[in-house]
Chains A and B, each alone.
Chain A
Amino acid sequence: GAGVSQSPSNKVTEKGKDVELRCDPISGHTALYWYRQSLGQGLEFLIYFQGNSAPDKSGLPSDRFSAERTGGSVSTLTIQRTQQEDSAVYLCASSLRGRELSWNEQFFGPGTRLTVL
Chain B
Amino acid sequence: GDSVTQMEGPVTLSEEACLTINCTYTATGYPSLFWYVQYPGEGLQLLLKATKADDKGSNKGFEATYRKETTSFHLEKGSVQVSDSAVYFCALSTGNQFYFGTGTSLTVIP
The chain A residues found within 8 Å of chain B, CB to CB, are 3-4, 33, 35, 40-43, 45, 91, 93, 99-111
Q: Give complex CA distance A40, B46 in Å.
A: 20
- Tell whether, in the assembled complex, residue B95 and residue A100 are in contact, meaning their CB atoms are under 8 Å apart: yes
Interface string of B85-104 (1 = CB under 8 A from A): 00001000111111011110
Complex Cα distance, B109 from A76, in Å, reads 40
B89 x A108 contact (CB < 8 A): no
> Which of A33, A91, A102, A111 sits near B51, CB closer than 8 Å?
A102
| Among A40, A91, A99, A104, contact of B44 (Cβ-Cβ < 8 Å) | A91
Binding site secondary structure of chain A: loop
Residues of A within 8 A of B34 (CB): 105
User: For residue B30, which residues in chain A have a CB less than 8 angstroms away from its CB?
Assistant: 102
CB neighbours of A100 from chain B (8 A): 95-96
Residues of B within 8 A of A45 (CB): 97-98
Chain A proximity mask over B30-53: 1 for CB below 8 Å, otherwise 0: 111010100001111110010100
* Bound Cα distance A110, B44 (Å): 7
Question: Are B44 and A102 interface neighbours, CB within 8 A?
Answer: no
Closest-CB distance, A113 to chain B (whole angstroms): 11
B100–A42 contact, CB under 8 A?
yes
Residues of chain A within 8 A (CB-CB) of B89 are 42-43
Whole-angstrom CA separation of A109 from B97 in the bound complex: 19
**How distant is the Cα of A91 from the Cα of B42 in the complex, in angstroms?**
11
Q: Which chain B residues border A3 with CB–CB below 8 Å?
A: 43
User: How many angstroms between the C-alpha atoms of A41 and B87 in the bound complex?
Assistant: 12
Nearest CB of A to B87, in Å: 10
A36 to B93, CA, bound (A): 18
Given contacts A102-B51, A105-B46, contact A43 B97 (CB under 8 A): no
Complex Cα distance A56/B31, Å? 20
